[in-house]
Amino acid sequence: MKYLSLLILVVQNSALVLVMRQSRHFEPRYATSTAVALSELSKLFICLYMHARDEFRTKGRIQPGEIFSEIFGRDAWKLMIPAGLYTLQNNLQYVAVTLLDAATFQVTYQLKILTTALCTVIILRRSLSAKKWFSLVLLTIGVILVQIKTDISDDVEKSSQRLLGLATVVCACVLSGLAGVYFEKILKGTRASLWVRNIQLSFFSLFPAFFLGILWMDGESVMSNGFWYGYNIYTFMAIACQACGGIIVAMVVKYADNILKGFATSISIIVSSLCSIYLFDFHVTFVFIIGSSLVIYSSYIYGLDDSKKPVTYQPMKNTENNEFTLKIEDSRPSA
């Protein structure tokens, strides 16, 4: 389940970057807050269906009152914090895609790996070895190298838009690290099912998505042009990818951890770049190959288990036949 969820996340993130960027090319442009709200609403219905199906399989019946009590229990309020952070992050992500070219956005957005690692150490009290920190540095360098050629071929953004876009990406990365680690802490410290937590997360996300996003940020545009103004087929594809992505991310942090999620997202950049060869006439360069190798190698380094210490082999002399044999000792401390 761990590696399957990571694989699905790679595919989902690759498709999301392509369709989200493509959806913002068309004029007139849609209100991004409406897309965020629809993705959360879609995720809410998907998780409700999955939870009801599991209830029917285990109990042979579906009791709406029992499901309602389980969803809105006394600890449901804990999901309000990551719900608000995720909603703001998703809106900033759309804004950054609009302001920046695809390469600059993808490279800069990988700062969320470092912010997630820092939040993991601070919030979850989890220590990272020097090898893992080194792999994080390698990953960042590799992702930057992968995107160098694409950055050269893209149009130059206006300086004001570029600065605003970079600031938006940095804010989104910080929010991503905080929300992801906080959600991981809730998931691994509760008995509630994964679907219940996702229902709670989607439900509480609807309030900031509607009041802060649709009414406050894009209220004038929605009131004058309508909710569906500027929508195209790629907009609906982006909404679907985001709706499924929230569920996949929850599965990853449940069965793996947030930093592995970050590595899967980074690998998806390579996949999306390879798809761009056929879709957008992307040319593979030597720098791209080097960067891809660094990303794959850093993922391998991070996946190594630091808890397993090396086994030592000590020669022992056999006094009976004057021969040497190997004595295998486990260097880990005994209980």
At 281-322, the pLDDT tens digits run 666 677 777 877 777 677 667 666 565 544 443 444 444 444
Per the domain annotation, does 323 fall within a domain? no
Per the domain annotation, does 318 fall within a domain? no
Structural domain for 286, as ranges: 1-305
Share of the chain above pLDDT 70, in %: 72
Query: With 80 as the cut, is the pLDDT of residue 280 above it?
Result: no
Per the domain annotation, does 334 fall within a domain? no
Per the domain annotation, does 325 fall within a domain? no
Cα dihedral 242, 237, 223, 200 sign: negative
CB 177 within 8 Å of CB 123: no
Query: How many domains, the chain?
Result: 1
Query: With 90 as the cut, is the pLDDT of residue 325 above it?
Result: no
Cα dihedral 9, 12, 15, 21 sign: negative
Model pLDDT for residues 53-92, shown as the tens digit of each residue: 888 888 888 888 888 888 887 778 888 888 999 899 999 9
Per the domain annotation, does 335 fall within a domain? no
Per the domain annotation, does 227 fall within a domain? yes
Cα dihedral 146, 148, 150, 151 sign: positive
Identify the weakest region by mean pLDDT among 132-136, 162-166, 258-262, 285-289: 258-262
Per the domain annotation, does 149 fall within a domain? yes
Residue with the bigger pLDDT between 68 and 139: it is: 68
Looking at residue 255, what is its pLDDT?
65
Q: Three-state SS for 162?
A: helix
Q: Three-state SS for 316?
A: strand
Per the domain annotation, does 332 fall within a domain? no
